[in-house]
Copies of this chain bind each other. A is one copy, B any other.
Amino acid sequence: MLFKLLKSTVIKKDEIRLQDEYVIIEQPFHILLNAVDLGASMILPHNLEEFAVGFLYAQGYIKNYNQIDSIRTCKDGSIFVYAKSAGVPKPKESIVTSGCGAGSIAASVIYNNEIKKVKDCELSINDCTKLIKETTIRGLELSSKTHGVHIAGFFSEGKLKAFAADIGRHNAINKVMGRLLIDETSTTGAIYTTGRLTSEMVAFAARLGIPILISRNAPSSLGIQIAEKYEMTLISYARPGRLNIFNRPDRITN
Protein backbone atom coordinates (compact mmCIF):
# COMPACT_ATOMS: atom_id res chain seq x y z
CA MET A 1 0.00 0.00 0.00
CA LEU A 2 1.54 3.25 -1.15
CA PHE A 3 -1.24 5.66 -0.18
CA LYS A 4 -4.34 5.70 1.95
CA LEU A 5 -7.67 7.47 1.79
CA LEU A 6 -8.35 9.98 4.57
CA LYS A 7 -10.96 12.64 5.19
CA SER A 8 -9.95 16.28 5.26
CA THR A 9 -12.04 19.30 6.17
CA VAL A 10 -12.04 21.87 3.39
CA ILE A 11 -12.70 25.40 4.65
CA LYS A 12 -13.37 28.40 2.44
CA LYS A 13 -14.87 31.71 3.50
CA ASP A 14 -18.50 30.60 3.28
CA GLU A 15 -18.14 26.88 2.94
CA ILE A 16 -17.09 23.92 5.02
CA ARG A 17 -17.19 20.31 3.84
CA LEU A 18 -15.50 16.94 4.19
CA GLN A 19 -13.43 15.66 1.27
CA ASP A 20 -11.64 12.38 0.46
CA GLU A 21 -7.88 12.73 0.09
CA TYR A 22 -5.20 10.25 -0.88
CA VAL A 23 -2.20 10.57 1.42
CA ILE A 24 1.22 9.11 0.60
CA ILE A 25 2.54 6.47 3.02
CA GLU A 26 5.73 7.41 4.87
CA GLN A 27 7.31 4.65 6.96
CA PRO A 28 10.63 4.24 8.79
CA PHE A 29 12.79 1.37 7.49
CA HIS A 30 15.98 0.30 9.25
CA ILE A 31 18.81 -1.01 7.13
CA LEU A 32 20.76 -3.70 8.98
CA LEU A 33 24.06 -4.50 7.30
CA ASN A 34 25.54 -7.79 8.51
CA ALA A 35 23.32 -7.43 11.59
CA VAL A 36 24.50 -3.89 12.37
CA ASP A 37 21.67 -1.34 12.40
CA LEU A 38 22.72 1.61 10.23
CA GLY A 39 19.65 3.56 11.29
CA ALA A 40 16.28 4.16 9.72
CA SER A 41 15.19 6.02 6.63
CA MET A 42 11.75 7.55 6.27
CA ILE A 43 10.62 6.22 2.91
CA LEU A 44 7.77 5.24 0.66
CA PRO A 45 7.52 1.44 1.21
CA HIS A 46 8.13 0.53 -2.42
CA ASN A 47 11.21 -0.91 -4.17
CA LEU A 48 12.80 -1.63 -0.81
CA GLU A 49 15.52 -3.91 -2.15
CA GLU A 50 16.57 -1.27 -4.69
CA PHE A 51 16.58 1.32 -1.95
CA ALA A 52 18.84 -0.75 0.31
CA VAL A 53 21.34 -1.46 -2.49
CA GLY A 54 21.37 2.15 -3.71
CA PHE A 55 21.69 3.50 -0.19
CA LEU A 56 24.60 1.19 0.71
CA TYR A 57 26.36 2.12 -2.52
CA ALA A 58 25.74 5.85 -2.19
CA GLN A 59 27.03 5.81 1.38
CA GLY A 60 30.14 3.87 0.40
CA TYR A 61 29.40 0.61 2.25
CA ILE A 62 29.53 -1.48 -0.92
CA LYS A 63 31.17 -1.01 -4.31
CA ASN A 64 29.01 -3.36 -6.36
CA TYR A 65 26.02 -5.66 -6.12
CA ASN A 66 28.16 -8.84 -6.23
CA GLN A 67 29.24 -8.19 -2.66
CA ILE A 68 25.66 -8.76 -1.47
CA ASP A 69 24.81 -12.30 -0.41
CA SER A 70 21.18 -11.74 0.58
CA ILE A 71 18.54 -9.09 1.21
CA ARG A 72 15.44 -9.73 3.31
CA THR A 73 12.83 -7.03 3.72
CA CYS A 74 10.34 -7.16 6.59
CA LYS A 75 7.15 -5.19 6.33
CA ASP A 76 7.43 -4.08 9.94
CA GLY A 77 10.28 -1.77 8.92
CA SER A 78 13.59 -3.65 8.60
CA ILE A 79 15.77 -4.49 5.63
CA PHE A 80 18.43 -7.11 6.45
CA VAL A 81 21.42 -7.09 4.09
CA TYR A 82 24.28 -9.57 4.28
CA ALA A 83 27.32 -8.58 2.25
CA LYS A 84 30.98 -9.55 1.81
CA SER A 85 33.74 -7.03 2.47
CA ALA A 86 31.29 -4.31 3.41
CA GLY A 87 33.03 -1.69 5.45
CA VAL A 88 31.98 1.37 7.32
CA PRO A 89 33.20 4.24 5.15
CA LYS A 90 35.35 6.96 6.63
CA PRO A 91 34.07 10.13 5.06
CA LYS A 92 36.61 12.93 4.76
CA GLU A 93 33.89 15.26 5.90
CA SER A 94 30.94 14.27 7.99
CA ILE A 95 27.69 15.84 6.88
CA VAL A 96 24.82 15.50 9.31
CA THR A 97 22.09 17.36 7.54
CA SER A 98 21.72 18.85 4.17
CA GLY A 99 19.54 20.39 1.59
CA CYS A 100 17.91 17.03 2.01
CA GLY A 101 18.52 13.40 2.72
CA ALA A 102 21.48 11.18 3.28
CA GLY A 103 24.08 13.83 3.48
CA SER A 104 27.43 12.14 3.89
CA ILE A 105 28.43 12.15 0.26
CA ALA A 106 28.33 15.60 -1.24
CA ALA A 107 31.30 17.33 0.28
CA SER A 108 33.64 14.37 -0.01
CA VAL A 109 32.74 14.04 -3.67
CA ILE A 110 33.54 17.68 -4.22
CA TYR A 111 36.85 17.59 -2.44
CA ASN A 112 38.28 14.20 -3.30
CA ASN A 113 39.57 12.78 -6.51
CA GLU A 114 38.58 9.14 -6.22
CA ILE A 115 35.62 9.44 -8.55
CA LYS A 116 36.34 9.28 -12.26
CA LYS A 117 34.96 11.67 -14.81
CA VAL A 118 31.86 10.31 -16.52
CA LYS A 119 31.99 8.55 -19.87
CA ASP A 120 30.80 10.36 -22.94
CA CYS A 121 27.45 9.73 -24.58
CA GLU A 122 24.89 11.61 -26.62
CA LEU A 123 21.16 12.02 -26.21
CA SER A 124 18.79 13.52 -28.78
CA ILE A 125 16.14 16.07 -27.82
CA ASN A 126 13.54 13.48 -28.85
CA ASP A 127 15.02 10.89 -26.50
CA CYS A 128 15.01 13.47 -23.68
CA THR A 129 11.32 14.01 -24.34
CA LYS A 130 10.73 10.25 -24.36
CA LEU A 131 12.55 9.88 -21.01
CA ILE A 132 10.56 12.72 -19.43
CA LYS A 133 7.23 11.43 -20.73
CA GLU A 134 7.79 7.76 -19.86
CA THR A 135 9.01 8.56 -16.34
CA THR A 136 6.07 10.90 -15.79
CA ILE A 137 3.54 8.33 -17.02
CA ARG A 138 5.00 5.63 -14.76
CA GLY A 139 4.57 7.92 -11.75
CA LEU A 140 1.31 9.50 -12.80
CA GLU A 141 -1.17 7.65 -10.59
CA LEU A 142 0.90 8.15 -7.45
CA SER A 143 1.80 11.79 -8.24
CA SER A 144 -1.65 12.92 -9.23
CA LYS A 145 -3.39 11.19 -6.32
CA THR A 146 -1.03 12.15 -3.49
CA HIS A 147 0.96 15.19 -4.71
CA GLY A 148 3.57 13.86 -2.32
CA VAL A 149 6.27 12.06 -4.33
CA HIS A 150 9.37 12.64 -6.37
CA ILE A 151 9.95 10.36 -9.33
CA ALA A 152 13.14 9.37 -11.15
CA GLY A 153 13.86 7.36 -14.28
CA PHE A 154 17.01 6.13 -16.02
CA PHE A 155 17.19 5.94 -19.79
CA SER A 156 19.76 4.39 -22.12
CA GLU A 157 19.79 2.72 -25.54
CA GLY A 158 16.36 4.19 -26.31
CA LYS A 159 14.66 2.64 -23.28
CA LEU A 160 13.55 3.48 -19.74
CA LYS A 161 15.55 0.95 -17.72
CA ALA A 162 14.74 1.97 -14.16
CA PHE A 163 11.98 3.89 -12.43
CA ALA A 164 11.36 4.82 -8.81
CA ALA A 165 9.19 7.05 -6.67
CA ASP A 166 9.71 8.19 -3.12
CA ILE A 167 8.72 10.96 -0.72
CA GLY A 168 12.33 12.19 -0.77
CA ARG A 169 14.10 13.14 -3.97
CA HIS A 170 17.34 11.51 -2.70
CA ASN A 171 15.55 8.28 -1.88
CA ALA A 172 14.06 8.16 -5.39
CA ILE A 173 17.55 8.50 -6.89
CA ASN A 174 18.92 5.86 -4.49
CA LYS A 175 16.22 3.44 -5.63
CA VAL A 176 17.08 3.99 -9.29
CA MET A 177 20.78 3.51 -8.48
CA GLY A 178 19.93 0.26 -6.71
CA ARG A 179 18.00 -1.03 -9.72
CA LEU A 180 20.91 -0.27 -12.07
CA LEU A 181 23.39 -1.98 -9.73
CA ILE A 182 21.20 -5.09 -9.31
CA ASP A 183 20.69 -5.44 -13.07
CA GLU A 184 24.32 -4.50 -13.83
CA THR A 185 22.93 -2.01 -16.33
CA SER A 186 25.51 0.23 -18.00
CA THR A 187 25.19 3.66 -16.41
CA THR A 188 26.12 5.48 -19.63
CA GLY A 189 22.78 7.21 -20.06
CA ALA A 190 20.53 9.84 -18.52
CA ILE A 191 18.52 10.26 -15.33
CA TYR A 192 15.37 12.37 -15.24
CA THR A 193 13.93 13.42 -11.89
CA THR A 194 11.40 15.87 -10.50
CA GLY A 195 13.79 16.71 -7.62
CA ARG A 196 16.00 19.78 -7.60
CA LEU A 197 19.65 19.17 -8.53
CA THR A 198 21.46 20.04 -5.32
CA SER A 199 24.90 18.77 -4.35
CA GLU A 200 23.95 15.32 -3.14
CA MET A 201 21.70 14.58 -6.09
CA VAL A 202 24.53 15.35 -8.52
CA ALA A 203 27.08 13.58 -6.31
CA PHE A 204 25.04 10.35 -6.33
CA ALA A 205 24.95 10.39 -10.14
CA ALA A 206 28.68 11.18 -10.26
CA ARG A 207 29.49 8.16 -8.10
CA LEU A 208 27.60 5.92 -10.53
CA GLY A 209 29.21 7.61 -13.54
CA ILE A 210 25.94 8.80 -15.10
CA PRO A 211 26.82 11.46 -17.69
CA ILE A 212 23.47 13.24 -18.10
CA LEU A 213 21.26 14.47 -15.26
CA ILE A 214 17.93 16.09 -16.07
CA SER A 215 15.47 17.70 -13.67
CA ARG A 216 12.06 19.28 -13.98
CA ASN A 217 13.24 21.75 -11.32
CA ALA A 218 16.08 24.11 -10.39
CA PRO A 219 19.77 23.39 -9.77
CA SER A 220 21.87 24.78 -6.91
CA SER A 221 25.28 26.42 -7.22
CA LEU A 222 27.01 23.42 -5.65
CA GLY A 223 25.12 20.99 -7.84
CA ILE A 224 26.44 22.80 -10.91
CA GLN A 225 29.95 22.88 -9.41
CA ILE A 226 30.00 19.09 -8.99
CA ALA A 227 28.65 18.61 -12.52
CA GLU A 228 31.48 20.81 -13.83
CA LYS A 229 34.09 18.87 -11.88
CA TYR A 230 33.01 15.51 -13.32
CA GLU A 231 32.06 16.93 -16.73
CA MET A 232 28.46 15.86 -16.36
CA THR A 233 25.67 17.36 -18.44
CA LEU A 234 23.28 19.12 -16.04
CA ILE A 235 19.83 20.08 -17.31
CA SER A 236 17.12 21.90 -15.34
CA TYR A 237 13.56 23.13 -15.91
CA ALA A 238 13.21 20.31 -18.45
CA ARG A 239 9.95 19.94 -20.34
CA PRO A 240 9.19 17.82 -23.40
CA GLY A 241 11.03 19.59 -26.22
CA ARG A 242 12.63 22.27 -24.00
CA LEU A 243 15.85 21.95 -22.01
CA ASN A 244 17.86 24.42 -19.97
CA ILE A 245 21.45 23.17 -19.89
CA PHE A 246 23.94 24.39 -17.28
CA ASN A 247 26.95 22.26 -18.21
CA ARG A 248 28.20 20.26 -21.21
CA PRO A 249 25.32 21.06 -23.63
CA ASP A 250 27.29 19.35 -26.40
CA ARG A 251 25.92 15.92 -25.36
CA ILE A 252 22.39 16.90 -26.41
CA THR A 253 21.84 16.50 -30.15
CA ASN A 254 19.08 17.51 -32.50
Contact = CB atoms under 8 A, between A and B. Distances in A.
A3 B220 CA distance: 9
Interface in A135-180: 146-148, 166-171
Contact of A25 (B9, B100, B221, B249): B221
A198 interface: yes
Interface residues of A, number: 71
Given A24-B221, A242-B12, A100 B101 contact: yes
A186 interface: no
Copies in the complex: 2
Interface stretch (A40-48, A66-74, A113-121): A40-48
Most buried by B among A26, A171, A196: A26
Contacts of A6: 224, 246
Given A23-B220, A218-B24, A222-B27, A42 B244 contact: no
A28 B93 contact: yes
A35 interface: no
Contacts of A168: 97-100
Contact of A167 (B9, B13, B220): B220
A85 interface: no
A198 B26 contact: yes
B12 A199 contact: no
Contacts of A43: 99
A131 B95 CA distance: 33
A102 interface: yes
Contacts of A101: 97-98, 100-101
A55 interface: yes
Interface string A201-225: 0000000000000000111111110
Interface string A71-110: 0000000000000000000000111111111110011000
A221 B4 contact: yes
A98 to B, nearest CB: 4
Interface in A1-37: 3-4, 6, 8-13, 19, 21, 23-28, 37
Nearest to A195: B100
Given A8-B245, A28-B107, A42 B170 contact: no
A94 B25 contact: no
A95 B107 CA distance: 20
A147 B218 contact: yes
